[in-house]
Amino acid sequence: MTHDCVPRSATNHIVKFADDSTVVGLIRDDNDLAYREEVEQLVRWCEGNNLILNVDKTKEIIVDFRKIQPSHAPLLINNSAVEVVSSSRFFGEQIADDLTWSVNSASLVKRAQQRLHFLRQDEESPPAPAHPHYVQQEHCREHPHQLHLCVVWRICC
Residue 136: pLDDT over 80: no
E strand residue ranges, the chain: 12-17, 20-25, 59-60, 76-77, 80-81, 83-84, 87-90, 93-96
Residue 32: pLDDT over 70: yes
- Rounded mean pLDDT of 64-69? 84
The amino acid occupying position 72 is H
> What is the per-residue pLDDT for 83?
92
Question: How does the average pLDDT of the chain come out, rounded?
Answer: 77
- Rounded mean pLDDT of 44-56? 88
Q: What is the DSSP string of 85-124?
A: -SEEEETTEEEETT--SHHHHHHHHHHHHHHHHHHHHHHH
> What is the per-residue pLDDT for 81?
92
Bigger pLDDT: 86 vs 152? 86
| Per-residue pLDDT tens over the stretch 78-110 | 889 999 999 988 888 888 888 888 888 888 888
